[in-house]
Amino acid sequence: MAKKITTIIPKEEIEKQYHFMQSVQSENERIAASKGKRNAKAFVRTFGCQMNEHDSEKISGMLTSMGYEITDCQEDCDIIVFNTCCVRENAEEKVFGHLGALKGLKRANPDLIIVVCGCMTEQPHIVDEIRKKYKNVDLVFGTHNLHRFPELIYNVMTSRVRTYETSRTDSEVAEGMPVKRDSNIKAWVTIMYGCDNYCSYCIVPYVRGHERSRRPEDILKEIKELQSQGIKEVTLLGQNVNSYGKDLEPAATFAGLLDLICKETDIPRIRFMTSHPKDISPELIDTMAKHPAICDQLHLPVQSGSTRLLEKMNRRYTKERYLDIINNVKKKIPGISLTTDIIVGFPGETEEDFAETLDLVEKVGYDNAFTFIYSKRTGTPAASYPDQVPDDVVKERFDRLLALQNGISRRINDTYEGKIVEVLTEGLSKNNTDRYTGRTGGGKIVNFTAPYDVTGKIVNVKITHIQTWSLEGELIEDEK
């Protein structure tokens, strides 16, 4: 099969969208002046993963450029955007619940524009349901159409026709669109979109499309800008960052990209997610070990400890291969913090399969595990697999896994008592306002006391007290 090369959306198309941003802004100013009203306000609600959180920052960037003030209160808004997730059924149910609750707001303010975008809208049966049951929704657009948001909004504003636009091209990436970031200390940077892995339970490849990488020079330019704005930590995002660059001409690798970022920028902390065990290369581990700026943390979803189930999941590695990778990582990067994703109750999961998962969790000793109950996703191969596991069995296994992991997390945290760790301070802790909060390079949450404001600084903290999910301590040294 010929290699599919990713291209950049033509500059003219992006300029056209900037033009629409201006037109929407003028339209908003005109409405405000004619009605003697305040500036237009927008509310963005995000469901799901970091990828979606970052897409919402792009949506907020476009909304800001269209003259909207972003608020966190959906009453009294002119536009409400739901950026949705469909990875599990409960995420979809939440969205429908919130959409239903908007009916009253729309009745009170018929000019309100309601937008639904993100992963859910790339599924035809969901768009049908919105069309039929949620007549208050004005605009639906998919993950491939994000950059066209300004044009779509302009059309809805001026024509007032319900608009649906999903799944356009799948081999292009947009550059140069605005972003309104939630933090001025840490930032997400997308390095690739989509996924080509087709794990048998997962809806993502169907809704996010093929893997498309951004060019190294565009990524580098963005990170240099972030550095000049004082950003201290960058997380590189992609559904499967280890296959970065295969679709570029010339081809690139993820290890090569990390190396380039470390050489060309001075960002103190670099993280990345998500990795796929089948694609993790020895060069990547060596690159992580070589550069102090790359955090000693690896999120490596295992999904199951049973080789039999891993094959049914189409994961393309065995339990032994996974443990080999982990051993190599631990050898090269001592003290690395490891996290994972695990699915409980995949069709056909037996007690023996589950025992393999518990055994793997024990052997690896994860700092933290994100555990999920299997959710049947329409259109995925596993949805039609026989022998779905009964709910009560799944729940009981889930609780056992959680108890095991909680014990391991606590055990690992206990080893931090009395140690000095480096923390990037994110600000005052929300529930304890005389303490600062931040994370270690390994990603552990640390709440600590400091005699002066250390927000945005990387500081040394002595750990004095341990919790299962966080560490507590006191500042011992000023910024380095």
Q: How far is the CB of 190 from ligand SF4 (least distance, A)?
A: 14
How far apart are the C-alpha atoms of 63 and 108, rounded to whole Å? Answer: 23
Residue 64 burial by CB count (10 A; 0-12/13-18/19+): exposed, middle or buried?
A: middle
CB of 196 or CB of 286, closer to ligand 5AD: 196
Given CA atoms 143, 148, 149, 152 in this order, what sign does their dihedral have? negative
- E strands, 197-316, where? 212-213, 233-237, 269-273, 297-299
Cβ proximity to ligand SF4: between 61 and 209 the closer is 209
Query: Among residue numbers 75 through 114, which ones bind ligand 5AD (CB under 6 A)?
Result: 87-88
Residue 375's binding partner among ligand SF4, ligand 5AD, none (Cβ under 5 to 8 angstroms by kind) is ligand 5AD
Task: Give the amino acid at 3.
Answer: K
Buried b (16+ CB within 10 A) or exposed e, 28-47: beeeeeeeeeeebbbbbebb
**Interaction partner, residue 240 (ligand 5AD, ligand SF4, none; CB < 5-8 Å by kind):** ligand SF4
CB of 455 to ligand SF4, least distance (A): 34
Residue count, binding to ligand 5AD (CB under 6 A): 12
Query: With CB cut-offs between 5 and 8 Å by kind, which of ligand SF4, ligand 5AD, none does residue 195 bind?
Result: ligand SF4
Residue 377 contact among ligand 5AD, ligand SF4, none, beta carbon within 5 to 8 Å by kind: ligand 5AD
- Choose the one of ligand SF4, ligand 5AD, none that binds residue 197, judging by a C-beta under 5 to 8 angstroms depending on kind: ligand SF4
**Of 476, 463, 477, which Cα lies nearest the Cα of 416?**
463
Please state whether 194 falls in left (phi above 0), alpha (psi between -120 and 50) or beta: left
The footprint of ligand SF4 (CB under 6 A) covers 195, 197-199, 202, 204-205, 239-240, 276
Residues 346-385, interacting with ligand 5AD (CB under 6 A):
372, 374-375, 377
**Residue 385 CB, nearest distance to ligand 5AD (Å)?**
12
In whole angstroms, the minimum distance from the beta carbon of 208 to ligand SF4 comes to: 7
Q: Does 53 bind ligand 5AD (CB under 6 A)?
A: no
For residues 191 and 54, the answer to whether their CB atoms sit within 8 Å is no
Q: Is 6 helix (H, G, I), strand (E, B) or coil?
A: coil
Judged by CB under 6 A, which of 343, 361, 412, 450 binds ligand 5AD?
343
Distance of CA 196 to the CA centre of its chain: 17
Q: In the bound complex, what is the minimum distance in angstroms from residue 380's beta carbon to ligand 5AD?
A: 7
Q: Residue 49: CB partners within 8 Å, gap ≥ 6?
A: 85, 87
- In 3D space, the residue among 21, 66, 19 whose CA is nearest the CA of residue 39 turns out to be 66
Which of residues 149 and 374 has its CB atom nearest to ligand 5AD in the complex? 374
Q: 202 or 285, CB closer to ligand SF4? A: 202
Cross-strand partners of 471 = 446, 466
Residues that bind ligand 5AD (CB under 6 A): 87-88, 201-202, 301, 303, 341, 343, 372, 374-375, 377
